[in-house]
Structure 1
């Protein structure tokens, strides 16, 4: 099928949801450029995940869909005008009716995506890929879509390519020096999830932080500006030996920080995926929800432990107080249990 595309084809990858989703999509760009070095790769991103695409060396251009969070058809004409006449092929990794229609109205010649959506008729290279009910990782499912471009998908996810910029590296170096962390052991806790996942609570993060401090490590707590109250609470509960970097780092600076971190602990959120993909020893805390199944959504990396509350079931959604295990993230996934995983991954 790739013979239908020109030698200098320009391919658009469409992923307009969250940061973690983008990180699990970017290996597609790596594979495309290894198979077709002369092709150019662009990404249609959301405001929340575009910075990740901008840091990937195989991505030539990043466009932003300002209505990415909406499944309706607002701002559709400007998006169509942005895409029209610019791409030879597009892969709809994050499918919505609006995005499928935009690709069709932009008259992109090759439009790749799933065959099992009500609006799949808007695509012309439809793959018979079932995602629900398969114990296959999201990154592998994304790579399978490359078959629509005539590319045989690899059986394993390639390592994350990330462009570390000198200014970002220097900023992180200066922060570590200012807090005296160049000469002492430390770890990163990332207690927030930007509201995208059921999360471990502040009390447990603080209890884990105190264990880290007692073991001789300082604790760097990170988060977005919107998570300032949560991060401040965690730092306050830990007491001394903490550094609050909430809202002070760009994504590129966060990547530079976690690449140097001896340990990262976080929930089902983009920074946890980033830390794992960069090779940092990572402990990921996931809820027993279908939307967070480790088989599909666990962080990928050489040194990762994913913990789920041992409640013996996978829930379609959280029914909160009506569940006998609620709140399972704080009651069943204790700080002692997570500390045991931390000790094991550090020792390894």
Structure 2
């Protein structure tokens, strides 16, 4: 989810630079709902690599579908050999990608980018890539659409649990889908208790259906009433819940970026693994919204050999609580006493 969210300003850049262009986006089926309704997107194509587009036969089927669109250009923000090959098989005349991969010869506009070593944010790297065709964006903007039906459903779920969205609440999102090291479930639980005990602010916990056991552990350590919405929200409903929150606390994960895109205050918990660092994957333009453990940067995580086991446990509940308090001071939805 996060990489898709950080790709969406590219849609705005293209549409503003080439107003008459028709812009389509190729995404996995799970991301289709996320980008639906974007004002600078004309059509969505889905790539079901795990299903109908899997294997060589599926790849050819996808290429045939894309070829029917008679596209003039393809911009491959997150290149793989498979996607580069699809662009060639789709007979797209202009193919833009990065220059340093073994299959980069399949692109005919190649941009010299080493993303892992750049020290720059993923969103800025995306915009740099498309500057090769003259597309630019003077001011980064996110344009996520939350349908009325999703707003009503999210509001109903909250009110059913005695939460008035207008009075403020704090969202904890303890999972990350395995994209990074997570802050311990016990710490999330203790944070929930601290927030409720000291401020009497409702705490909402979100997550996917597959994160039920994780949320169970968070709740077991909270020792207080929390509102569970794990497995109960689609992407648009999750967006509505995040948008109305006073603060969202999360690991490095898609919902954190979604909250940022919606203008919500966040606290992002980041591990010191080189590929996951906040200078590339942090909440965009919000360096003061990040907490990291005081541990050396690792190229890969080797828990068995690590002095700390899970270094994320070095981030204390007190640190996160104080950062949440700082963020609450910037909102008017709740009063901190």
Is the TM value for this pair above 0.5?
yes
Of the candidates 233, 237, 250, which is equivalent to residue 253 of structure 1?
237
Higher helix proportion: 2
Q: Which residue does the alignment assign to 2:334?
A: none
Which residue is 1:147 aligned to? 131
For residue 159 of structure 1, report the CA deviation from its aligned partner.
Answer: 2.0
Quick one: distance in 2 between partners of 1:155 and 1:324?
45
Secondary structure, in 3 states, of the residue corresponding to 1:200? Answer: coil
Q: Work out whether 1:177 is the aligned partner of 2:177.
A: no
Q: Select which of 52, 63, 79 maps to 1:95.
A: 79
Q: Is the 8 A contact 1:276 1:303 kept in 2?
A: no
Q: Does 1:83 align with 2:69?
A: no
Structure 1 residues 99-137: Cα deviation after superposition (integer angstroms, max 9, x where no partner): 101100110011101111111111111112232311111
Question: Whole-Å Cα distance in 2 between the matches of residues 308 and 31 of structure 1?
Answer: 32
Looking at structure 1, the residues matched to 79 and 55 of structure 2 have their Cα atoms a distance apart, in angstroms, of: 13
The residue that corresponds to 2:23 in the other structure is 41
Instruction: Indicate the larger mover: 169-178 or 231-240.
Output: 231-240
Residue by residue over 1:71-122, the C-alpha shift from the partner in whole angstroms, topping out at 9 and shown as x without a partner, is: 9756211111111141111101110011101100110011101111111111
SS at match of 1:33: helix
Give the match for residue 218 of structure 2: 234
Dislocated runs of 4+, deviation >6 Å: 68-72
Give the secondary structure class of the aligned counterpart of 1:259. helix
More contact order relative to length (CA 8 Å, sep ≥ 6): 2
Contact 1:89 1:108 in 2 (8 A): yes
**TM-score, normalising length from structure 2?**
0.92
The change in CA–CA distance for 1:301 and 1:115 in structure 2 (over 3 A counts) is closer
Backbone CA RMSD of aligned residues: 2.0
Judge which range, 267-276 or 130-139, deviates more: 130-139
Further displaced range: 94-103 or 172-181: 172-181
Structure 2: give runs of 5+ residues left out of the alignment: 331-337
Q: 1:9 matched to which residue of 2?
A: none
- Report the alpha carbon displacement of residue 231 of structure 1 after superposing the two structures with TM: 1.1
Unaligned runs of 5+ in 1: 1-18
- Alignment partner, residue 341 of structure 1: 323
The equivalent residue for 1:12 is: none
Structure 2 residue aligned with 1:56:
38
* Cα distance in 1 for residues equivalent to 2:65 and 2:238: 31
Aligned to 2:189: 206
Q: For residue 12 of structure 2, what is the aligned residue in structure 1?
A: 30
Q: Which residue of 1 aligns with 2:333?
A: none
TM-superposed CA distance for 1:301, in Å, is 5.5
Change (3 A) 1:248 1:327: same
Q: Which residue of 2 aligns with 1:310?
A: 294
Cα distance 1:56–1:107, how it changes in 2: closer, same or farther (>3 A)?
A: same
CA distance in 1, matches of 2:247, 2:106: 45
